[in-house]
Amino acid sequence: MSNASSIRCLITAGPTREFLDPVRFLSNPSTGKMGYALAEAALRLGWNVDLVSGPVSLPEPDGAILYPVVSAEEMYHQADALFDACDICIMTAAVSDFRPARCLPQKEKKSTASLTLELEPTRDILAALTERKLDQTVVGFAAETENLEANARAKLTAKNCDLIVANDLTQPGAGFAADTNTVTLFTADGSHETLGPALKTALATQIIDRLAKIRA
C-alpha cells in the first residue's frame, strides 16, 4: 500500500513551440488548464508533484516543482530526467507532432520566404518513456476529432499506457482553452468510463482519485 506523501507524480502540461526562426513557431491552442488542475488535485492529496510545462499563462501551483520548457525536445529531456523517480506519470501536454526541418538564425523576410515548409517529426515522448516503464502508472491523453474509442484504445496499446484520457474536440465546451470538458477513461483491462461534462478542475479531482485507488 502506498503512502500518499510518498507518491511522486510527474505531469506534463501545456503546448510546445517549434520555431521556424526567432519570431515564428508552430504550436497549438493548449492552455495547460487540465495539466495544472491535475497538479493541484494531486497536491491536495499530499503527493509530490513535478510539473513539466510548456509556455502557458497560468499561476504556478503552490507546492509543485515547476520545470518550464518550450520545445518538444526540451520537454522530452526534462520528463526523461524525472521519469524513473516517479510513481505516476500523467502526460497531458499537447506536444507538437512536427517541427521545421531547419530553424533560421534570423527572421525570414516575407518577400523572400519560401511558401513550402519542410517538416520533420518530433520525438514521441510518451513512447520513449514507457519503453523503460517498471512500476509506474502511466496516463496518456488523446484529443480526437473522430473515432474516439478506436483511436484511444490504439494509443493505449501502442504507448504501453495504463490509462488513456480521451476527449472529442468537436463537442461543445470541450477541448483546448475551455474551462469544461467531457472525457472518457479507457483502461488496459478493456473497461471505460465517461466523466463530465464538468469543469476541468472537477474532472482533474476525479481522475486523481481514481489513480490514488490504483496506487493504494
Among all residues, which ones are annotated catalytic? 28
Burial 78-104 (b: 16+ CB within 10 A, else e): bbeebbeebbbbbbbbbbbeebbeeee
Strands 8-13 and 18-21: unpaired
Partnered with residue 147 across adjacent β-strands are none
The burial class, CB within 10 Å (0-12 / 13-18 / 19+), for 41 is buried
As given in the structure block, the three cell numbers for residue 159 are: 504507448
Q: Which three cell numbers stand for residue 166?
A: 480521451
Residue written as grid cell 483546448: 176
Amino acid at 102: R
Cell 500500500 sits on residue: 1
Cis peptide leading into residue 121 (ω within 30°): no
Closest of 179, 214, 149 to residue 34, by C-alpha: 179
Give CA–CA dist 207/140, Å, rounded: 12
Nearest to 94 by CA among 184, 4, 169, 8: 169
